[in-house]
Amino acid sequence: MGTTLMTGASRGLGRVAAEHLLRRHPDRHLLVLNRRPGLAAELAERTGNRNVSEVVCDLASFADIRRAAAEVEGPLDGFLGNAGLQMATTRKTTADGFEMTFGVNVLAYHLLLNLLRPRFANPARIIVVGSDVHDRAHNSMGLIPPPRWTDPRELARPGEEDTGVAGRRAYATSKLGVVYLVHALRRRLPDGIDVYSYNPGLVPGTGLARDAGPVGRAAFRAVATALLALPVATSPARAGRLLAETLAGPRPGESGAYISRGEVIPSSPESYDERREEELWAVADELCGLTSTEPRRV
């Protein structure tokens, strides 16, 4: 077995997914990228499987991503991009000056996956976690406003609005960007290396709203916990297991597909827009300092 690289394995559904992979697929080496050292040791102690290692990496820094990618040894047969964030406003920035939500949820994955592409074995499976809030028709019970797509350069700029609405809308918009990037990457990968966007559903207890402040976090917990009894929500335990098996189990569907809670379904009508996908890819290349003249598949 090769190596699976994972981000966002420290808490919530990502922690469940990491532990599930180590327990149920012990021959698969798990390499975790985490902002602070010590996660690999925690996972090994928790699961009894020492086939896990780590590279320290802050996804809010391009320099850190480049350093971490250089430390990754292949071949990689899996990638699970679970780390993501939702900020209270659009005024916070990454180390490179980009709006934090867009910078981490979209640009960081664009840079990381492009740097790692030569290290992927064939076959391999790549999953980037998205969200059903990318769909403006999705009823998020008033928690998240619908996405508002525009020029990717504008989305990457910090905003002036110091409101929770702006921050939550940026989150929904970034998840639409994840689907666009997955579609564009699918056209650039050879047969045998599959890429998917994955929607875990509403998962209370993930810490996603930790930037919202005490009042906002309490409100989100209260609403999300109440929603756990409804079909729109999934427990962290179930969401983590489904995510892990989508990576390690049977091939879930054609490359580029959108997988919602373990099942392939269409993503939003707005998410199928090749012009936007290619524009985002080109702008992300520019902002990340990447250059590419490679052909893409139809």
User: For position 174, which CATH number holds?
Assistant: 3.40.50.720
In a domain, 294, yes or no: no
Choose among 252, 244, 196: nearest CA to 25: 244
pLDDT of residue 213: 59
In a domain, 149, yes or no: yes
Tell me the residue range of the domain where 272 lies: 3-288
Choose among 117, 135, 270, 151: nearest CA to 199: 135
pLDDT tens for each residue of 197-226: 999 988 776 555 555 555 555 555 555 565
What's the structural domain count of the chain?
A: 1
What are φ and ψ of residue 237, in 5° steps? Answer: -65, -50
What are φ and ψ of residue 34, in 5° steps? Answer: -145, 150
pLDDT of residue 223: 56
In a domain, 240, yes or no: yes
In a domain, 295, yes or no: no
In a domain, 194, yes or no: yes
Residues of the chain with pLDDT under 50: none
Burial bucket for residue 44 (CB in 10 Å: 0-12, 13-18, 19+): middle
In a domain, 293, yes or no: no
pLDDT of residue 227: 59
pLDDT of residue 114: 98
As a whole number of angstroms, the distance between CA 109 and CA 251 comes to 22
In a domain, 91, yes or no: yes
pLDDT tens for each residue of 4-41: 999 999 999 999 999 999 999 999 999 999 999 999 99
| The token pair that represents 65 in the structure block | 């991503």
Q: What's the full length of the chain, in residues?
A: 298
Burial bucket for residue 66 (CB in 10 Å: 0-12, 13-18, 19+): middle
pLDDT of residue 92: 95
pLDDT of residue 291: 82
Residue 226's H or E segment, with its range, is helix 213-227
As a whole number of angstroms, the distance between CA 171 and CA 101 comes to 6
Torsional sign, CA 9, 12, 17, 23:
positive
